A and B are shown apart, each in its own frame.
Chain A
Amino acid sequence: MKEILIHIALYTVLWGSIYLLISLGFSLICGVLRIFHLGYGVTFVLAAYLVWTFMEHAHLGLLPSILLMVLVQIGFALIVFYKGIFERYLEEEEVLLSLSLLVFVAIAHLANYLFPVTAGVSLPTTVVDDVLTVGGSTIAYQMIVAAAVGVLVTVLYVLFFLKTRIGLIIRAVSQNLLAARLMGVNVNGMYYLAMVLSILPPTICLLVIAPFWGVDPFMGSPLLMTAMLIAILGGLGNLKGSIVASYLIGFIHATVSFLFVSRFMGLAALIVTLVVMIYRRGGIFAGETLW
């Protein structure tokens, strides 16, 4: 019994940190731009397949491919999503949501057309290819690296938002747009910055989890679902809430997998989210501000 509890604790931390990395960007967009970005999954798909294209067809090394991919992603997010969709349709949200979803679907199917599952896409981003045996369980080092990266990125982001001046400005924009504008904030510039900042966590996430996660053209949907669930549970747009919710969902998944049948992992998380939404509307930290 004690061993199972150790397992659960271990995997709560591991999975929670990974889920945190997945959902950080989504919470950021929700909190600052106040937009429910249904096309968020496209970041993962683009990350994986752009790196693959650059490495296999342009024969660049791993690091140049990653850098180039980040640049392309930033351009894509700013031009297609921000300028093309968000700015134009801020007042008509249903159009905004549908267009984001359509862009995501189009990119996923394009990836499927160019590189179907049988093309053997994989990202050689393994940092340490070994396993660690602790207690009664064996864990891949890569997973520990992924969790550590997740925690590190989150800490950096939290420090950025709490301690720096620009972070303060973004928090102000997320709390009260009108007041921020009155204070002379360059809201558009802050939105650009927020969009760029929201791309980095999912990109880094995919690069570190590719060695033990499945890479296929339609992987954006389950990842988007995870991010959405965590954002909803923790309170839309709230970083504190995302952190708490990630570990909570990690805990639920670990408990269900180790104590019951792992088949019910996803359903259990869904039901808990529904229940929390009904009893504490708004999620755990319902404040709709970034922190």
Chain B
Amino acid sequence: MVKLELRRDRIVARWGDWKSEWVIEPRYWRNPTIAITALFLLPLLVQSYPHILTMITTANLYAAIAIPLALQILGTARVNFGPQLYLGIGGYTAALLNLHWGWSPSLTFLAVIVVCGVIALLISPTTWIAKGLYFSLITLILPLTFLDVTFIWGDIFRGEVGLVGMSPLLNFTKVSWNYLAYYYLSLILMLLYLLVSDRIVRSRLGVNLAAINENEDVARMMGVNVDRYKVVCYVFPSILTGIVGWFIVHTFRTFAGVTYLPLEFMTKVLIIVIVGGRAFLYGAIPGAYLISIVEDSLRAVGPSNYFLFPLVLILLIVFLPRGEGLWGLYRKRRPRDYFPKLHVRRE
């Protein structure tokens, strides 16, 4: 099945066409271990400020949306301007099934996977039919159409009020334990997404995706089944985003499309991908945390924070290293690193 080989400094796993390497040198794992430990110990720092815990839970969720988005952009070779569509679809699915049919969170989890997968499959032909910019525009318009639908079928979707009162994921006796548990769950979710995306990108599959991103025709010539990879790379991240919607529904327990579907939310997620650095997927995490913290700190300034926040973001984008964002601050780009170029217009 999965063949494992032990090399001098790495373990190689092969499964058919898919090859993945795990480096086992301690120096390689030092920084990631420090970072993950810090994230796990963060609640101890902020345990007297429970609202900060909610803020970083939200930051984790933003990162959890940005990571599949980065993977999707890489694999489909187009920029998706509407990742929040599947957030909405997943969220409403989970909320409606839970409220009207009484399904438990684990059942709604499966339902979200199925529903998001089916809808993504139906929309996936656009990845190979529509040229680059038109795909981006279609994805831009779809969430707004969905938002209009939630108003038109207000009986089901409850328009601007949204759906309220879904059952919680966990229920400990003390509320603060609930919030702590939600933080750890969101952290694990985000790290899981990061792990999966990282493994995909570093495997042979990832090489194929990079080839598709750079030049589809050449990739086709080299024998990469472009259409199949594009569909997989559209459906899989969509399902992951839907799962984030499921998580939001069962932790915040309210869900209104008006918060997640319009353009402002999309801008935030897009900025996270850009500021975080598209060079590597890891950049999404510092990007998400930075955006959340900047937004909250600016709140102290008063009503002028509404136009100061975009200005701060503009400054960040302009002054951080070109294209590498925050991750570029941490690590200089090495010559053999793959630096994906985001193509919006494709000829």
A109 touches B307 (CB 8 A): yes
Contacts of B274 in A (CB 8 A): 94-95, 98
Residue from B145, B307, B313, B344 within 8 A of A271 (CB atoms): B145
Bound complex: CA of A188 vs CA of B148, how far in Å?
A: 41
A106 touches B344 (CB 8 A): no
B138 touches A267 (CB 8 A): no
Bound complex: CA of A86 vs CA of B2, how far in Å?
A: 49
Bound complex: CA of A109 vs CA of B304, how far in Å?
A: 8
B270 at the interface (CB under 8 A from A): yes
- Given A277-B138, A278-B129, check contact A94 B310 (CB 8 Å): no
Contacts of A98 in B (CB 8 A): 267, 270-271, 274, 317
Interface size class of A (residues with CB under 8 A): 35 or more
A236 at the interface (CB under 8 A from B): yes
A274 at the interface (CB under 8 A from B): yes
User: In this complex, what residue of B is CB-closest to A92?
Assistant: B323
Secondary structure of the A contact surface, majority rule:
helix
Contacts of A106 in B (CB 8 A): 307, 310-311, 314
By a beta-carbon cutoff of 8 Å, the part of chain B in contact with chain A is: 79, 126, 129-131, 133-134, 136-138, 140-142, 144-145, 148-149, 152, 263-264, 267, 270-271, 273-274, 278, 303-304, 306-307, 310-311, 313-314, 317-318, 322-323, 341-345
B133 touches A270 (CB 8 A): no
What are 19 A-B contacts with C-beta separation under 8 Å?
Answer: A36-B344, A36-B345, A92-B341, A92-B342, A94-B79, A94-B273, A98-B267, A101-B263, A102-B271, A106-B311, A113-B303, A229-B141, A232-B134, A263-B152, A270-B148, A274-B138, A277-B134, A278-B129, A281-B130
A97 touches B344 (CB 8 A): yes
Contacts of B137 in A (CB 8 A): 36, 228, 232, 277
Bound complex: CA of A66 vs CA of B42, how far in Å?
A: 55
Identify the interface centre among B141, B142, B144: most chain A CB within 10 Å of its CB: B141
Contacts of A36 in B (CB 8 A): 133, 136-137, 344-345
User: In this complex, what residue of B is CB-closest to A108?
Assistant: B307
User: In this complex, what residue of A is CB-closest to B145?
Assistant: A270
B130 touches A113 (CB 8 A): no
B317 touches A99 (CB 8 A): yes
A93 at the interface (CB under 8 A from B): yes
- Given A36-B133, A109-B310, A281-B130, check contact A270 B138 (CB 8 Å): no
- Given A94-B270, A105-B267, A282-B134, check contact A274 B310 (CB 8 Å): no
Q: Which 7 A-B pairs have the closest CB atoms?
A: A106-B310, A109-B307, A93-B344, A109-B306, A110-B307, A102-B310, A94-B342
Contacts of A99 in B (CB 8 A): 314, 317-318
A105 touches B152 (CB 8 A): no
A122 at the interface (CB under 8 A from B): no
A92 touches B138 (CB 8 A): no
Bound complex: CA of A282 vs CA of B126, how far in Å?
A: 12
